[in-house]
Homo-oligomer: A and B are copies of this chain.
Amino acid sequence: MNTRSSSAVIPHVRQRILDAALEEFYTAGFHAATMRTIAKRAGCSAANVYNHFDNKDELLVEILRAASDEQFTATRNALRKAGAAPAEQWTAAVVAHSLYTARNQRACLVANTELRYLDEVDRKRVVGSRDAQEHLFVTIAEAGVAGGDFDVPHVHQAVTAVLTMCAGIALWYRPDGPLSAQAVADSYGVYALNLVGYRPA
């Protein structure tokens, strides 16, 4: 009966707006989503959205930045727990990345299709952790090649290929499909390890 418990059940408006925006961006696309439909889904007036966010772009920025950061964090955490061998690091990174993509399918799809609609300034606020993440993958792959574990042409390009492959999960994955997110991620780990020409000793 107190404020805390009720707020535990119905999330605060700000979060409800973000959730609604993600849903709308996902189903309709950024441009086709309207502040009015977002607001209605969030259960408030369109005007009130502007009490919490500067404008429509800001909604997209917040959503994408949060997703990017979380995904990066997930990957780094996985790496910390994995063995030091390049193959283990590589697989751990790909699996974690894929797992996050499958589990946050909406946000990841939006990130891959709507990022382009942000202006230069806002895009920079989002792509930071994306670039860092890519750099992480490149480092691991290069270590693998240098150590003779991997054998693949154009390492950097291979990393790009793997990352877009993983991002693609967001295009088709459904939680109620035949494979669990974990199963999908695991197989993508295998694909990626194969892709870089890993040959067990």
Contact = CB atoms under 8 A, between A and B. Distances in A.
A45 interface: no
Contact of A164 (B152, B165, B195): B165
Interface residues on A, range: 20 to 34
Contact of A29 (B31, B172, B187): B31
Interface string A137-171: 00000000000000011100110111111011001
B184 A157 contact: yes
A29 B118 CA distance: 12
Most buried by B among A116, A152, A196: A116
A26 to B, nearest CB: 10
Interface in A158-201: 158, 160-165, 167-168, 171-172, 179, 184, 187-188, 190-191, 194-197
11 contacts: A29-B31, A31-B32, A113-B113, A113-B116, A158-B191, A161-B165, A161-B191, A164-B165, A164-B167, A164-B168, A195-B195
Interface of A: 29, 31-32, 113, 116-117, 152-154, 157-158, 160-165, 167-168, 171-172, 179, 184, 187-188, 190-191, 194-197
